[in-house]
Structure 1
Amino acid sequence: MSDRPASAPPIFEEEILPPGAPELTPARPDMLAFAALLTGSTALAVGPWFVRMADVGPIASGFWRMALAIPFLFLIARLSKQRIGRPAAALWGLIAVAGVFFALDLALWHEGILRTKLANATLFGNVSSFFFAAYGFLIARRLPSGKQSAALLLAGVGIALLLGRSYELSREHLLGDLLSLAAGVAYFVYMIAIERARLKLETWPTLALATVIGAACLLPVAQGMEGTVVPHDWTPLLCLAIGSQVVGQGLVVYAIGRLSPVVVGVVLLTQPLVSALVGFAAYGERMTAPDIAGALALAAALVLIRGRD
């Protein structure tokens, strides 16, 4: 399977053909990339449990998530014959921005989880998905189609139903809410930088280099704010690194280079649904009628967004 980034990938499903080229049937989004994105989003939704299980602070967990993943990422890049080469200065700049803002996202969101309700943190942390979808329409200089508008509306309704019962704004949770919101904005910047970098560099080198930069940023912050960085039990952190950074981010970065921002944004909104389903399976947390309705709305959004306009 080739992962060569296109020089100018289409923002949406249709490509503009050069003059004189034979007319082609508009293509559906790459279904392999769609499946990879959905799998990666699911893996990312599991990550917070490993953060809770770790015996180090939340920022240190973010550091180890990146640091432990680095050798795996470079190994996968080598085995898949994706060469780093000598990136140009502009490409290095994009990768640096991606690494710094992803580190900022992890630090803010992990801290936010401790200061607000989990539902609030999940809701505010996912604003990046809506921003990234809007970014896609902005750079394409077009309004969303009827099918895309319906998918975004259904996704928004699904999120509201899943989180509406436990969502709460209060002075007690204000700091955590603001930290989670800032994390979502930081992740949005990371996604843009990754999307632009993927025009010139393949999946695993892009993610590996950004991860190195992110880990280097988080280590001094964790040492300065939390002190204890080295854990007694490595198992949760190793699971976090492989599940969230290697599998989760790896598949998401791969898909970002092949799918439109609106598709990426809608699929990433499934993370609260995955958390609700796992909570039901692992802890017996009952899913109410609004929860089920929210799940169905998100499923309908996925069906709409994967099809052709």
Structure 2
Amino acid sequence: MTTAMPPAAPGRWAFAAMITGSACLAFGPLLVRLADVGPMASAFWRLALAVPFLLIMARIVGGPAALRLPPSPGIPGGGRSQAAVLLLSGLAGLAFAADLAVWHLGIMRTTLANATLLANAATFMLPLYGVVVLGQRLLRMQALALVMAASGMALLLGRSAQLSPQHLVGDLLCLAAALFYTIYLVAIEQVRLQLAALPALALATLVGAICLAPLATGGVFWPQDWTPIIGLAIGSQVIGQGLIVYAVRHLSPLVIGLALLVQPAISAGVGAIRFGEVPGPWELAGALMVVAALVAARLPARSKPRAD
């Protein structure tokens, strides 16, 4: 007599997917710098090239039905209408296009460390959204994790991410990108209530590419070297954002925000290898604090699982 294995929980791999997706996004600023097109063009190509891959993957994973909008609910409260899903998808795509536009401009106007650090201010905006809008209460361990994460970030990028007058415009652009990215994460999480991860991301990516198309022709548009552009499309958008869109359906705003801290940690390593910015003992201590914050943020979720 054989015993059937219990089915895996829907969000079993959500935390691992969030960390992996965030790690893939950490190489985005470097690829933007290496691209031989303008910042608006690199943002457009990132989305435009990713759309067909996402549509094909959605069709393979979910079949023909995956590319159809869910039927409108027959009773009140039975789900969002098709118009609401399209509206939320449009908001997610518009917010993501705005995020990429101002972030790519900021990357070209400030240091790599500043661009990564300030763009990940969503780390602190998401928990604030959870408390103010969703009415969530931070447990003691979660509040401690947030403090540890903030302290770790200060140590990790304390020397290389200092604000300076000459980088002020770029810093403000990257900070604005964090606000738009927070709106994107909130909107795409709502879309995920009705659509699977790949169709939701494909729809938002298509909207974002359409929004960026008029802005992409302002500078050099056609790349001579497609390697950085393809890296942005496949590594950042298809793999990185694909894993994050899957994960946001199953994780709390605090854990999502803290997982985004993987990006500046990896960027510090990229800076050390690519530009000789070797981290000192304080930066290494900051990296350990970030890891500890991620672990601390997960402890409450293990004792009291979140209902999906």
For 1:209-220, list aligned pairs within 5 A: 209-220=203-214
Counterpart in 1 of 2:61? 80
Task: Please state if 1:129 is matched with 2:127.
Answer: no
Tell me the distance in 1 between the aligned counterparts of 2:114 and 2:224: 30
2:285 maps to 293
Query: Shift of residue 281 of structure 1?
Result: 4.2
- 2:270 aligned residue: 278
Is the Cα–Cα contact under 8 Å of residues 29 and 259 in structure 1 kept in the other structure?
A: no
- Give the CA deviation at 1:290: 0.8
How far apart in 1 are the matches of 2:221 and 2:232?
15
The answer on 1:167 being equivalent to 2:161 is yes
Which residue number corresponds to residue 111 of structure 2?
A: 117
Equivalent position of 2:31 in the other structure: 50
The answer to whether the 8 A contact 2:69-2:195 is kept is no
- Whether contact under 8 Å (1:29, 1:306) holds in the other structure is no
Q: Does 1:90 align with 2:84?
A: yes
Which residues in structure 2 correspond to 1:1-309 (within 5 Å)? Answer: 30-81=11-62, 83-87=66-70, 88-223=82-217, 225-226=218-219, 228-307=220-299, 308-309=302-303
Which residue does the alignment assign to 1:14?
none
Q: CA separation of 1:243/1:155 partners in 2, compared to 1, >3 Å: closer, same or farther?
A: same
Matching residue of 1:4 = none
The separation in 1 between residues aligned to 2:144 and 2:10, in whole angstroms, is 17
> 1:106, 1:183 within 8 Å by CA — same for their partners in 2?
yes
Q: Cα deviation per residue 1:192-241 (whole Å; 9 max; x = unaligned)?
A: 11111111111000000110110111111111x32x21111112111110
Query: Which is further off, 67-76 or 84-93?
Result: 84-93
- Is the 2:33–2:107 Cα contact (8 Å) retained in structure 1? no
8 Å Cα contact 1:132-1:265 kept in structure 2: yes
For these two proteins, the number of residue pairs brought into alignment is: 280
Contact 1:128 / 1:185 at 8 angstroms: preserved in 2?
yes
Question: Cα RMSD (Å) of the superposition?
Answer: 1.7
Q: 1:62 to 1:78 in 2, by over 3 A?
A: same
Change (3 A) 1:46 1:167: closer
Change (3 A) 1:29 1:275: farther
| Alpha-carbon separation, structure 2, partners of 1:35 and 1:86 | 28
Distance in structure 2 (CA, Å) of the matches to 1:30 and 1:70: 25
Aligned partner of 2:4 in structure 1 is: none
Identity rate, percent: 52
Report the AA paired with residue 34 of structure 1: F
Aligned counterparts of 2:203 and 2:10: Cα–Cα separation in 1: 27
Matched letter for residue 212 of structure 1: L
Q: Residue 123 of structure 1: CA displacement?
A: 2.1
Match of 1:10 in 2: none
